[in-house]
Amino acid sequence: MTIRFDGRVAIVTGAGNGLGRAHALGLASRGAKVVVNDFGGARDGTGGSLTPAEAVVEEIRKAGGVAMADGADVSNFEQVTAMVARATKEWGSVDLLCANAGILRDKSFGKMEAADFSKVLDVHLTGTFYCCKAVWDGMRERNYGRIVLTTSASGLFGNFGQANYGAAKTGMVGLMNVLAEEGRKNDIRVNTISPTAATRMTEELLPPQALALMKPDAITPAVLYLLAEDSPTRTIMGAGAGSFALIKILESEGINLPEADWTPDAVAAHFAEISDMSKAKALQGAFEQTQKYVGQAAARAGVKP
């Protein structure tokens, strides 16, 4: 099976460099018309220039593809909605969204300023919400949409000095979970990529020999798969250096305690059983957890839930 995007219109944010550039080039090479969005700021979000986005558009056009540059700041909802309206007016729709734009303001939590926390959340999490919101109604009207959000191992698993970035990136998973549910009836599929690659954000963190293995192009195959017509939904994929993996959030089977044991001492005494992951499952929705707990309690009480 060859995955193609002929006739599809894609927006890739943060596409002037690194991962976004690779994703934009990959989509264009397989037939998509691409909005190359990049605010053109520094790694910490300061400054701004349309030059990086225009350079990627020129690459796409020279290769025979179709693209336009857009300098919308994803943390500005008016600019994001204008970008979507422009693409829709020019090409008729926005079918695919890869929300990739991001900044870094790393500091240990004790030294982190509130402004640095807020700004990183504004760009990553709120900016992703803005992009999804701006394309959502059009996707619903056309009964088709594919969205890929960008999370990070820094949020999923933790990384020193990135409380702001980690919190924002883990928020992507919650956003994906809800949008995937709400989008099902209109064939809007929402997935998340957890990339690790040599970009402006990682170049100071890894030795040269490791960076040489971590090309941004190695992430793009997973992103294009998650944007494809036959993609799954509500899926987190890890990717880097040619490796691809599935990431899941699991809950143990757990145990139900009698009311007399609703104490912290009893929880401590039974913690080994509570944390036994041999029957762990990835729950498919918040209510599934509620049903499980109520079912366990009902079984103990000898009643039907």
**144, 165, 225, 293: which one is catalytic?**
165
* Residue 20 neighbours by CB under 8 Å, 6+ apart: 12, 13, 14, 36, 37, 38, 98, 100, 101
Q: How far apart are CA 61 and CA 67, in angstroms?
A: 7
Known catalytic residue at 165: yes
Q: How far apart are CA 10 and CA 224, in angstroms?
A: 11
Measure the N-to-C terminal CA separation of the chain; round to a whole number of Å: 46
Q: What angle do CA 171, 72, 222 make, to 5 degrees?
A: 50
Q: How far apart are CA 95 and CA 11, in angstroms?
A: 8
CA atoms within 13 A on the CB side of 158: 2
The conformational region for residue 41 under phi > 0 = left, psi -120 to 50 = alpha, else beta, is beta
Place of tokens 């090409």: 91
Contact present, 67 and 91 (Cβ < 8 Å): no
Contact present, 171 and 186 (Cβ < 8 Å): no
- Residues assigned a catalytic role: 165
